[in-house]
Structure 1
Amino acid sequence: MAIVVIALVVLVAVAVLGGAHWYVWRRLVRDTTRAWGPARVTGTAVLIAGPLLMIAALAAERGGAPFWLQRALGWPGFLWMALAIYLLLAVLAGELLRPLLRRFVERRGRVEAAVADKPSPEEPSPQPLAVPSRRLFVSRVVGGAAAAAAVGTVGYGTYGVLRGPSVKRITVPLAKLPRSAHGFRIAVVSDIHLGPVLGRGFAQRVVDTINSTQPDLIAVVGDLVDGSVKNLGPAAAPLAQLRARHGSFFVTGNHEYFSGAEEWLEEVRTLGIHTLENARTELPGFDLAGVNDLQGESEGQGPDFGKALGDRDTTRACVLLAHQPVQIHEAVKHGVDLQLSGHTHGGQLWPGNFIAAAANPTVAGLERYGDTELYVSRGAGAWGPPTRVGAPSDITVVELASKQA
């Protein structure tokens, strides 16, 4: 039964993917060319190769293909994923522009025809645009604008990721925080997603940005990698340079469990980062706790709030590292003062923020749930396409404030 369901899901996905690409091909290639010349052949080839590369890139990453193959397929395949989304959106938007432009061209054609009926003896009569030519002209204008908008959007969004995350700063007052801990700064980084596309150079930019904020503590809130220690150990090596007065701490995200969580936890420790596996540590002024990601349940290593928080002194403030925002409900039950999360990427590719909002209590930013504050970072990197639209990457410096100060 499970195999049948999976097969049906795959068939539906292929049908949707194929239908979307056929629609884009029809508007951008067939409607803008007269026959099977070089332009139509080239456009058709691109719109066939693009989705095939995208599927191959996903299969190579999830299937554990040789890393050189993952890297070779990653850039074109994942970039096409983003480009296909915005080509489709741009072509759909073009449907609104098309009748307006057609009406304008037809009106101009009638004016030209009227002028042609009264030729000047001194000038040749202008030839009105034929109906087929009008349609081709409209299709080319709309199609060209759609393609330019999509390419420009993806290009700018990719540049935004590759140049590295920006720094955000927020202040979070905590009622239980003592005056002595007022102003304590935590650099929160999540969703770096080192993998076939984002490698060692990107990790170095993230590390340099974090260190430039001179935080008291660094919190790495999951989804560090997309791949094995064997393939990505060298890419993660710059994390050994992280510097903070009270050290760096790490909790797993769902992607760690796709990448060999036990090996990565050991690797993170060798880089000098403390792991919080359903555990906590006492810091001056507050407790810092961390729980495993929900995906760990598939390996018997899921979150255990009782183990991490059950016997603590509840008169002390508590900051919890938990990758997914949905873990906030357990945090509220256990009297956590502040939960720091990631996972959503802020939606990463608009309008993905609406999808993310349907699955998460908070997509990005600071919100309050009962007596617990939840802060969700948009993340430093990107999964799949190294592209963000409407959800810029960030590293957040969370400054804790004492209400007694």
Structure 2
Amino acid sequence: MYVFLAVYLTIYGGAHLYLLRRTLKAFELGAPFPAFFLMLGLFMVGAPMLVRILERIQLEAPARVIAEIGYSWMGCFFLFLSASLALDLFGLILKAVGQMLQRDLSFSEPGLVAASLCIALAASIYGLFEARHVKVEQVVLESTKLPAGVGRLRIVQVSDVHLGLMVGRPRLEQILAQVAALKPDLLVSTGDLVDGQMDGLKGLDTVLATVRAPLGNFAVLGNHEVFAGVGPSVAFTTRGGYRMLRGEAVAVNSYLTVAGVDDPAVRYRQKEKGSAVSEKEMLEKVPQDHFTLLLKHRPAIDPGAQGKFDLQLSGHVHKGQIFPFNLITHLAYPAKMGLSRFGTSWLYVSRGTGTWGPPIRVLAPPEVTVIDVVQRVMGNEQ
């Protein structure tokens, strides 16, 4: 915890110091602007920590207000920083070209800062719009494991909804309306259904329970459920009509098995105990003629489990949520977004359905995923 706090303050605080000082210098702003910028930076850097403190002492209303302000600023600030770095690089290239051509092609410092700020503001406004318009992504997979008479198995996936202070009842009702319209046979949540605290969830379990799939609703733990507390998170999800799979495989019918594993964060928290069963051991007990669906929050394939399931559904990475952070998440989790194949197994990585932290998404629209598993036509190879 202390290491994370130190890293957060160093990176986020340092970035504020750099950009705010650069802005003051670029526009030659004197008193009272330095003092104002300092107080603004201190408040915004401390806002996420203040939100957690207010949540813990059950002051939900002020926590929500500060969260809206602090996290919206965070998104805009990261875009400002990214735009500044990109324009600085572009400026260096232009300067080098100008030297070769013996012409001055450089930008002025005020121009660079102003352009960066305009890009950040425009992208933030667009990001607010993008985050609230959930796309339906459709995938079709062929399988020989569907019995005669079952023409299609429709699986609908939500992931990383992050219900809480920032994502509340209106967003949940919007998501569920889209899910219900898709008429899933099976509905799954691949982790982070709730955010890092249990605040803002009153009544949302009842709303969640209004959409039930004929073959069942299933869920697994994400890292944020662990942060909020495994016990309360499991209880909330169960009241919402989902069966939580924690290192177990459930035969839904004569041809379908759904398996799920805990997020690794469970093992990292000493007070919580995760399943001791490995993915390989769990899946080896599943009948080979069943279509096996594996729910796993993080998009990583266990080498020992590869080939022992038909489709793994994951989330976690949000596609970075705000461009260009997808480049960073790709370094941590190289699996591509969407559908990819690993031998005889498939992996689908969702961009997530809600938002974490900043209530914006830039070039990473939220999604509800519908996977139609259909009977493989004889001679048709995937």
Q: Is TM (by shorter chain) over 0.5?
A: yes
Deviation at 1:270, TM superposition (A): 2.4
Seen in structure 2, the aligned counterparts of structure 1 residues 143 and 189 have a Cα distance that, compared at 3 Å, is same
Give the Cα–Cα distance (whole angstroms) in 1 for the partners of residues 303 and 326 of structure 2: 21
Seen in structure 2, the aligned counterparts of structure 1 residues 95 and 219 have a Cα distance that, compared at 3 Å, is same
* 1:224 aligned partner: 193
For 1:95, which of 88, 94, 106 is the aligned residue?
88
Seen in structure 2, the aligned counterparts of structure 1 residues 179 and 144 have a Cα distance that, compared at 3 Å, is farther
Q: How does 1:9-24 map to 2 (within 5 A)?
A: 10-11=5-6, 13-24=8-19
Deviation at 1:32, TM superposition (A): 0.9
* 1:324 aligned partner: 298
* 1:401 aligned partner: 374
Deviations 1:2-54 (A, max 9, x none): xxxx7666545433333322221233222113x42556655554344322324
Give the Cα–Cα distance (whole angstroms) in 2 for the partners of residues 262 and 180 of structure 1: 41
**Counterpart AA for 1:21:** H
Give the Cα–Cα distance (whole angstroms) in 2 for the partners of residues 45 and 268 of structure 1: 40
Give the Cα–Cα distance (whole angstroms) in 1 for the partners of residues 223 and 93 of structure 2: 47
Query: Is contact 1:353–1:363 with CA below 8 Å preserved after alignment?
Result: no
For 2:109, which of 139, 145, 162 is the aligned residue?
139
Give the Cα–Cα distance (whole angstroms) in 1 for the partners of residues 273 and 317 of structure 2: 24
Name the SS for the 1:222 alignment partner: coil
* 2:44 aligned partner: 50
| Structure 2 spans left out of the alignment, 5+ residues | 97-102
Name the SS for the 1:196 alignment partner: coil
**Counterpart AA for 2:125:** G
Q: How does 1:1-400 map to 2 (within 5 A)?
A: 10-11=5-6, 13-33=8-28, 35-37=29-31, 42-57=36-51, 66-96=59-89, 138-161=108-131, 163-229=132-198, 231-277=200-246, 278-297=248-267, 298=269, 299-302=272-275, 304=277, 305=279, 308-332=282-306, 335-400=308-373
* 2:99 aligned partner: none
Of 189-198 and 247-256, the range deviating more from structure 2: 247-256
Seen in structure 2, the aligned counterparts of structure 1 residues 16 and 227 have a Cα distance that, compared at 3 Å, is closer
C-alpha RMSD of matched pairs (Å): 3.1
Query: Is contact 1:323–1:343 with CA below 8 Å preserved after alignment?
Result: yes
* 2:100 aligned partner: none
TM score, norm. by length of structure 2: 0.85
Name the SS for the 2:312 alignment partner: strand
TM score, norm. by length of structure 1: 0.80
**Counterpart AA for 1:201:** P
Query: Is contact 1:60–1:69 with CA below 8 Å preserved after alignment?
Result: yes
Structure 1 segments (4+ residues) deviating >4 Å: 6-13, 37-45, 58-61, 96-103, 227-231
**What percentage of residue pairs aligned between the two structures are identical?**
31
**Counterpart AA for 1:240:** A
Query: How many pairs are equivalent?
Result: 367
| Structure 1 spans left out of the alignment, 5+ residues | 1-5, 104-109, 111-134
Give the Cα–Cα distance (whole angstroms) in 1 for the partners of residues 13 and 94 of structure 2: 29
